[in-house]
Structure 1
Amino acid sequence: MTTLSQVAQRAGVTSATVSNVLRQRGKVGADTRARVLAAVEALGYRPHLTARALAEGRAPTLALMVSSIANPFYPEFALAAEQAARQHGRFLIVCNTNDDPDIGRAYLDQIAGTLSDGVLVMNANICIEDLQATARRGATVVLGMWEKPHQPPALPCVAVDFHLAGALAARYLIALGHRKIGVMVGGGVCGVHAERERGFNDALLELGHGDAVVHRMMVHDSVEGGLQGGAAMLAAAPSITAVFATNDLPALGLMHAAADLGIKVPQQLSVIGLTDIQGAHQARPALTTVAVPTAQAAAMSVALLLELIAEPQSVAPMRIAPAPELVVRASTARRSD
């Protein structure tokens, strides 16, 4: 493997000059820079990232911790986060906890502050105390897409107004004339979608239709969870004319359940989800949903993480992402009596 000193010897400069050229630091003349780059190319030199990290006292990577990479929302977030990290000269490590807090804690112990300068955490089922302990050990921790802007956590975060997202869904269904509504809350017993449901219910109350929800159930946050839960809901409450799912995956599963039962969407049943994953517009019928700013929140989260790595703050900052937006597609229609 070619070393930095070999590049310097070939170019007739010091190792420090080669380092300055590669990192675009210091004042290096155009001719010298050209000689160094020519030597790098001729010798096939590639920087040793681990050695650089040890020398500079910082890792070249950032970590993104997610609860389940099988959930298509997280790859979409990871793609935007990776692009943002790369623009700042960093690599992104994606750590999948598979909804297991023990795996999450192991990642924190093994990666934070060693392989990675900082950790961006996305609904990884890890308690705030464990994350705070990681931060106290010197690793920067940022929570991505925090769901309660009105309740800032004890750690830095980028927040999205999921209460508003739920409210937008409720207002739209009421505007379409639906008065017998089912609600499918994703996330299982951990209740990570509670704020979305709360926004939905609060909007119904404000509109004078607090009794519009006639059936509610918790489901696993997946297409299969929506399929199974949807079949049970439609059998238990056949009068329902619309269903709000707190995530797109259960909403898509619900549409499969409706098709299996011969219920037409949207002619007999309107379905609305939340998040706007790629599969939402690819479904048939295409899914009406409330879009959250996934790409913007990912870029903001990476920017905040890097900002805090460079200049740690004693007070945990919170940045607010752009507001969610209703996206009307073919899975909803005005109630037909």
Structure 2
Amino acid sequence: MATIKEVAELAGVTPTTVSNVLRDRGRVGTATRERVLNAVAAKGYRPNLNARALVERRAPTLALMLGCITNPFYPEFTLQTNNAARRHGRFLLVCNTDYEPDGGSGFLAEVAGSLSDGVLVANTGSLQVDELKSIQATGTPVVISVWEFPDVDPGIPCVAFDSHKAGYIATDHLLDLGHSRIGALVGSEKNGIHGGRYKGFCDALRARKVKHLKTDARFGTDSYQGGFDAALDLLTSTPDLTAIFVSNDLPALGALNAAASLGFNVPEDLSIVGITNIELTSQSRPALTTVAIPTAEMAEKSVDLLIKLASNDPDAPAMVRTADPVLIKRASTAAPKSRATK
């Protein structure tokens, strides 16, 4: 296996120059950079990451902890996070906890501060913030990447988007179309991770003086099956609904199929709107109207924040906010029949 010294001799430079080229650091001329890269290719040189970690006293990797890799949001978020990490010259380790508390705790205990230079937590899920604080107390940077409550400081550095506004925008869209009998499917408990989205829904109705009955809401799991089952139950018990707000896209896709199985035509008989804008929403039939959250921006800012914390940057903020959510109008929403026929 070639060494960095052999690469340097072939390129006619010092080992430090080779290192600077490979890490994109320092001032290296174009011609010198090209010679170094040609020498690297000719020698088949691969940096020793363990040695680099010992010299620099930091791991060359960042860790990302996910709740459930089968939820399409997480692979999309992981791709964006990986791209951001690579731009910083880091590799990404990914752990899927499957929402199991022991899985998350075990991952943090094994990886934090040893295999990785810091940990990104896509959302806290079943982990308690205190557990994250205990890892942080060991000196390992921790960032919550998808924090849904920008008005609440979790006590851990985080990247936050306005989930309340996302719920408000989605509901406002249904109200603008003329809907007043609107049900809600929430992919968590009322005060759970989607609580901000549901509060946005309720506040939008309240602002328009539209009544919301407790019997018109279902709280459950953030999954396709959870949305399917909840929609079946809601539409069976309350068939006069003309629209459904769903707190996330995956259960919204389940609600689309549940409506079809009950004979509802979407959007002629029933409008459905979700939140997130995962790729599948543009591919469903009908394509799902949704409120897009800034996934790529969250990934980029999460990695940037973690790198600052790992570098002991005194200017690293406690919370970074993203751009506001944006409505994406598609084919799953329309005016209710009573208004459309006037």
- The answer on whether the counterparts of 2:23 and 2:89 sit within 8 Å (CA) in structure 1 is no
Deviation per CA, 1:219-261: give whole Å up to 9, x if none.
2211111111111111111111111110011111111011111
2:87 alignment partner in structure 1 = 87
Report the alpha carbon displacement of residue 125 of structure 1 after superposing the two structures with TM: 2.4
- The answer on whether the counterparts of 1:66 and 1:94 sit within 8 Å (CA) in structure 2 is yes
CA distance in 2, matches of 1:110, 1:76: 25
Unaligned runs of 5+ in 2: none
* Residues 26/198 of structure 1: CA separation in 2 closer, same or farther (3 Å cut): closer
| Letter of the structure 1 residue corresponding to residue 182 of structure 2 | I
Of 11-20 and 221-230, deviating more is 11-20
What's the TM-score once normalised by structure 2's chain length? 0.91
- The answer on whether the counterparts of 1:196 and 1:246 sit within 8 Å (CA) in structure 2 is yes
CA distance in 1, matches of 2:13, 2:108: 42
Report the alpha carbon displacement of residue 11 of structure 1 after superposing the two structures with TM: 5.4
Deviation per CA, 1:37-65: give whole Å up to 9, x if none.
55433322111111111111011111111
| 1:92-241 map, 5 Å | 92-123=92-123, 124-187=125-188, 191-211=192-212, 214-241=215-242
2:56 alignment partner in structure 1 = 56
CA distance in 2, matches of 1:72, 1:213: 30
Report the alpha carbon displacement of residue 218 of structure 1 after superposing the two structures with TM: 1.3
Look up the SS of the partner of 2:337 in the other structure: coil
2:308 alignment partner in structure 1 = 307
Of 12-21 and 299-308, deviating more is 12-21
1:75 alignment partner in structure 2 = 75
Report the alpha carbon displacement of residue 206 of structure 1 after superposing the two structures with TM: 1.4
* Residues 287/5 of structure 1: CA separation in 2 closer, same or farther (3 Å cut): same
Look up the SS of the partner of 2:216 in the other structure: strand
* Residues 30/251 of structure 1: CA separation in 2 closer, same or farther (3 Å cut): closer
Seq. identity, %: 50
* Residues 39/168 of structure 1: CA separation in 2 closer, same or farther (3 Å cut): closer
Report the alpha carbon displacement of residue 29 of structure 1 after superposing the two structures with TM: 7.5
2:292 alignment partner in structure 1 = 291
- The answer on whether the counterparts of 2:141 and 2:309 sit within 8 Å (CA) in structure 1 is yes
1:276 alignment partner in structure 2 = 277
Look up the SS of the partner of 1:272 in the other structure: strand
2:41 alignment partner in structure 1 = 41
* Residues 189/243 of structure 1: CA separation in 2 closer, same or farther (3 Å cut): closer
CA distance in 1, matches of 2:312, 2:81: 20
1:252 alignment partner in structure 2 = 253
* Residues 172/8 of structure 1: CA separation in 2 closer, same or farther (3 Å cut): closer
Report the alpha carbon displacement of residue 79 of structure 1 after superposing the two structures with TM: 1.1
| Letter of the structure 2 residue corresponding to residue 296 of structure 1 | E
* Residues 206/190 of structure 1: CA separation in 2 closer, same or farther (3 Å cut): closer
Deviation per CA, 1:285-328: give whole Å up to 9, x if none.
11111111111111111111112211244985211100011111
* Residues 33/294 of structure 1: CA separation in 2 closer, same or farther (3 Å cut): closer
Deviation per CA, 1:51-86: give whole Å up to 9, x if none.
111111011111111100100011111111111111
RMSD across aligned C-alpha pairs, in angstroms? 2.2
Of 14-23 and 67-76, deviating more is 14-23
CA distance in 2, matches of 1:284, 1:68: 25
